[in-house]
């Protein structure tokens, strides 16, 4: 997606004031767009919170490019390639005035985040850039045939996020990496269940084709009979899978640095509570988008602050 970039003859080093502004921009982006993630950042030490905001702002830019349905798929792919190339140039020491790239490259250096993980995040969002109109079934596009296929997508867009986050959180046990991958998968499955209606509006079906076939559901049934017992059973299947992967959080939290444990607990609790709220509403994600209220999130956040103080 992006070619190699030679190091700059003289390495560009941003000033402290530039980094302050850059991280402030990333925090504003995160506060506005990260409806669940931002709450967990509040119980982190400042340096780690800033770093995660930089990572989120980078991910947000990737997502915004990939999801911009106002421009053709080929143009979105090109814009993603240009964005990734800009990251590579910044990583190589070339000057940049993009606040997201300034903060992200600083974060990468401070926390030894592998460049390959940041690339994987961009490649994952690129998997969403498909020209549905040119597909043989233009009304709805089944993205993945099997759950294994879906897991590969989830790895790139969510598990890799977990691998980046634990670099910032801090850990020493290599077993934390596999657990972070599983937890990322749990988060993404929750998002997929919550966003079925929204994805249908973009012509996308992330639920695996083999799972639809198991319950004798066609993609069009998700539009015409969204609250049927078969659809509820399908979403319950995916929710049960997510619950299994959420168990990774219980093992992962004690493995990361103590000052980051409350943040991961808050994030995991918010997403677990969201999944259970969807289940209590009988998986009716079609009438309206199910979210935790601000009050519900603040209750979790309050418990996180208590964990940080004890």
DSSP letter for each residue of 191-233: HHHHTHHHHHHTTEE-S-HHHHHHTT--TTHHHHSTTSHHHHH
Q: How many CA atoms lie within 13 A of 232 on its CB side?
A: 10
Q: With residue 141 as reference, give the H or E element that holds it.
A: strand 141-142
In tens, the pLDDT along 49-104 reads 999 999 999 999 999 998 888 888 899 999 999 999 999 999 999 999 999 999 99
Q: Is 172 helix (H, G, I), strand (E, B) or coil?
A: coil
The pair of three-digit structure tokens given for residue 14, joined into one six-digit string:
């941003």
Q: With residue 163 as reference, give the H or E element that holds it.
A: helix 160-169
CA 31 from centre of chain = 15
Instruction: Give the confidence band of 138 by pLDDT, cuts at 50, 70, 90.
Output: very low
How many other CB atoms are found less than 10 A from the CB of residue 120?
18
* Whether pLDDT at 136 is above 80: no
Q: With residue 272 as reference, give the H or E element that holds it.
A: helix 261-280
The pair of three-digit structure tokens given for residue 299, joined into one six-digit string:
């209750």
* Whether pLDDT at 1 is above 80: no
pLDDT value of residue 134: 43
pTM: 0.89
**Percentage of residues in the chain having pLDDT higher than 90:** 76
Alpha carbon dihedral 77, 82, 83, 87, in 10-degree steps, equals 140
Class in CATH terms, 136-310: mainly alpha
How many other CB atoms are found less than 10 A from the CB of residue 225?
14
In tens, the pLDDT along 292-302 reads 999 999 999 88
The structure tokens 């929750």 sit at 190
How far apart are the C-alpha atoms of 135 and 210, rounded to whole Å?
19
The structure tokens 């299994």 sit at 244
How far apart are the C-alpha atoms of 121 and 275, rounded to whole Å?
24
How far apart are the C-alpha atoms of 272 and 36, rounded to whole Å?
11
DSSP string for residues in 61-103: HHHHHHT-TTS-HHHHHHHHHHHHHHHHHHHTT-----HHHHH
| CATH code, 12-129 | 1.10.600.10
pLDDT value of residue 49: 96
- Mean pLDDT, residues 130-138 taken together: 49
* Whether pLDDT at 43 is above 80: yes
Q: Where in the chain is the domain with CATH 1.10.600.10?
A: 12-129, 136-310
pLDDT value of residue 9: 65
* Whether pLDDT at 135 is above 50: no
How far apart are the C-alpha atoms of 198 and 167, rounded to whole Å?
32
């Amino acid at each position: 997606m992006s070619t190699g970039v030679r190091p700059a003859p003289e390495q560009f080093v941003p000033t402290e004031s530039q980094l302050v502004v850059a991280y402030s921009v990333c925090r504003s982006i995160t506060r506005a767009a990260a409806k669940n993630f931002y709450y967990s950042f509040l119980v982190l030490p400042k340096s780690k919170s800033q770093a995660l905001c930089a990572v989120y702002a980078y991910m947000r830019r990737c997502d915004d490019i990939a999801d911009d349905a106002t421009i053709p798929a080929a143009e979105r792919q090109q814009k993603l390639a240009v964005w990734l190339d800009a990251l590579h140039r910044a990583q190589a020491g070339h000057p940049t005035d993009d606040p997201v790239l300034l903060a992200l490259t600083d974060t990468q250096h401070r926390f030894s985040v592998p460049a390959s993980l940041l690339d994987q995040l961009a490649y994952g969002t690129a998997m969403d850039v498909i020209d549905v109109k040119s597909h043989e079934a233009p009304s709805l596009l089944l993205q993945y045939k099997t759950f294994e296929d879906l897991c590969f997508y989830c790895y790139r867009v969510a598990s890799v996020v977990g691998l980046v986050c634990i670099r910032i959180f801090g850990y020493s046990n290599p077993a934390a990496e596999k657990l972070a991958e599983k937890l990322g998968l749990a988060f993404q499955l929750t998002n997929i269940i919550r966003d079925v209606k929204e994805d249908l509006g973009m012509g996308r079906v992330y639920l695996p084709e083999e799972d639809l076939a198991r319950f004798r559901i066609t993609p069009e049934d998700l539009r015409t009979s969204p609250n049927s017992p078969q659809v509820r059973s399908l979403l319950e299947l995916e929710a049960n899978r997510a619950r299994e992967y959420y168990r990774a959080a219980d093992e992962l939290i004690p493995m990361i640095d103590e000052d980051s444990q409350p943040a991961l607990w808050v994030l995991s609790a918010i997403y677990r509570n969201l999944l259970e709220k969807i289940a209590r509403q009988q998986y009716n994600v079609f009438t309206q988008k199910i979210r935790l209220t601000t009050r519900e999130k603040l209750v979790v956040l309050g418990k996180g602050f208590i964990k940080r103080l004890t």
